[in-house]
Structure 1
Amino acid sequence: MIGTIYNVCMILVGSVIGRFLHKGLKPQYQTILTQALGLVAMVVGINAVVENMPKSHYPIMFILSLAIGGVIGQWLNIQKHFDHLVGRFSSGGNLAEGLATAILLYCIGSLSILGTIQAALNKDYTFLFTNGTLDGITSIVLASTFGFGIALAAGAVLVWQGGIYLIAMMLQSSINTTMVTELTIVGGVLILASGLGLLEIKKISVLNLLPALIVPIIGVMLIQAF
């Protein structure tokens, strides 16, 4: 968990720095930073999909994952509950959108997922230290645009990576590269969707699609069991 704690601390430190930048940032600069983040999210998402799609053993898995996960997420109406919750801590603006983007960028990526598994199985924290440093820089930009509320994403990272760490410890023989590949493809699509929203190209209820991340894990385990 050392790597995860470092990751969380870097996000908090970056959020503090970004919070002070946010106070004196003019609206036009906030706009250009939001657009820059949208482009970053799209590039990260596209890269995750393009890099992992050729490695996929089940090319239609991500389609089924998005379809099933979307229906479940819409039924639970995660986006609405999330926006309502964030609204209690926000004095206006688009913190909910920024926070959703932050959570996806921090949690859904090869370094975050593989790094946690490496830490659990091999006690190798290299990936997580690298990921934490990158997240720290990203949080400065996010917090300077959306405010200190971005620090709430640190809690999501702690739960996400902590959960993966515990699962990896319990299911050491069941976790494989196939599962991680399929999960990363779905995650890449969600990050891409987040970027489209930031650029105001198409507003997508990304949080309602989050249950799609569970489908590849269950799907691969079931397929490999039979």
Structure 2
Amino acid sequence: MALFGTLVNVLLIIIGSVIGRFLGRIPERIRETVTYAIGLAVMVIGIQMSFATSQIIIVIISIVVGAAIGEWLDLDGQLNRLGRWMESKAGKTPGEDGQGGIAQGFVTGTLIFVIGSMAVIGAIDSGLRNDHDVLIAKGIIDGFTALILSSTLGIGVILSAVPVFLYQGAITMLSSVISRFIPDDMLQFFIEEMTATGGLMIIAIGLNLIGLTKIRVANLIPGILVVALVTGLLYGFGLMPAAGE
């Protein structure tokens, strides 16, 4: 089922939100260590994905050109500005009344769970390969994050599960539909290189989670489009490597 990964992701957000609402504030020491553990696990997933490539030069070109495009467009900055705008529209802060807390919890959770490369890469992976590992890993991260957020911002965090389902589900279903119109050999070639390129982005997320780097991962996302362009051009000009090369 194409939407399995997204459904697991949504379920874990709901569970984390409910548990966090009743646990109260989580000690910083526990939060930090668990975040590091999740970061290490995410890096392992990214490393495994990066070995999918059969043409490493395509991955290098895609990630470098994609990063340049992302920085030029300032995707990370634009997403942050969107976040600040949404927060400004959220109204009152927690503690003033229930509606204010719900609004801020919903906005904060949505920004964290929806905006990120794992949502895009995982949803595409679910749609094209029926592989849900990335979204399940994201769900674990989101579930723990929801637990922390709901312990401080309230139960409004649980409502962020709705945009997560709509956003990731739409990408997954679109990927599934597109795959029906692409030749199998070209699709397989694209999947391999997209998976490897996405793996590097996942590694970057893991490094950020454990605090070693502050990579603007959102600015790497155009690399996925570069992969599609490069593999499409190679296929169109008959230069696509034969299987096993």
Which TM class, normalised by the smaller chain length?
Answer: 0.7 to 0.9
C-alpha offsets along residues 136-164 of structure 1, whole Å, 9 cap, x if unaligned?
55542342245537634434312321221
**Aligned residues of 1:82 and 1:96 also touching (Cα < 8 A):** no
**Partner residue in 1 for 2:228:** 217
How much does 1:115 deviate?
4.5
3-state DSSP class of the match of 2:172? helix
Which residue pairs with 2:182 in the alignment?
A: 171
Shift in Å at residue 69 of structure 1? 0.7
Helix, strand or coil: the match of 2:76?
Answer: helix
Point out the structure with the larger helix share: 1
Report SS of the residue matched to 1:176: helix
Instruction: Letter of the 1:41 partner, please give it.
Output: V
**2:192 aligns to what?**
181
Count of matched residue pairs: 208
Which string of whole-angstrom CA distances, capped at 9 and with x for unpartnered residues, describes residues 78-98 of structure 1? 111212323434859x96995
Aligned position for 1:61: 58
Q: Which residue number in structure 2 is paired with residue 78 of structure 1?
A: 75
Instruction: Indicate the residue corresponding to 2:33 in structure 1.
Output: 32
Give the whole-Å Cα distance in 1 for the aligned partners of 2:164 and 2:135.
13
User: Does structure 2 conserve the Cα–Cα contact (< 8 Å) formed by 1:113 and 1:180?
Assistant: no
* Residue in 2 that maps onto 1:20: 18
Query: For residues 177 and 202 of structure 1, what CA distance do their matches in structure 2 show?
Result: 32
How far did residue 219 of structure 1 move? Answer: 0.6
- The percent of aligned pairs where both chains have the same amino acid is 23
Partner AA of 1:30 in structure 2: R
8 Å CA contact 1:65–1:186 kept in 2: the answer is: yes
- In structure 2, the residue corresponding to 1:37 is in which secondary structure? helix
What's the TM-score, normalizing by structure 2? Answer: 0.71
- Answer yes or no: is 1:143 the counterpart of 2:160: no
Gapped regions of structure 1 (runs ≥ 5): 119-124
Q: How far off is 1:168 after superposition?
A: 1.2
Query: Are 1:203 and 2:204 counterparts?
Result: no
Q: Contact 2:198–2:224 (CA<8 Å) still a contact in 1?
A: yes
Gaps in structure 2 of 5+ consecutive residues: 91-103, 151-156, 238-245
State the SS of the aligned residue for 1:108.
helix
Counterpart-to-counterpart distance in 2, 1:31 and 1:48: 26
Distance 1:207 1:14, change over 3 A: same
* Aligned-partner Cα distance in 2 for 1:75–1:183: 22
The residue number in structure 1 matching 2:121 is: 108
Q: Tell me if structure 2 keeps the 8 A contact 1:86–1:96.
A: no
Alignment deviations for residues 98-152 of structure 1 (CA, whole Å, 9 cap, x no partner): 537x84445435xx5454236xxxxxx7x55x87766655542342245537634
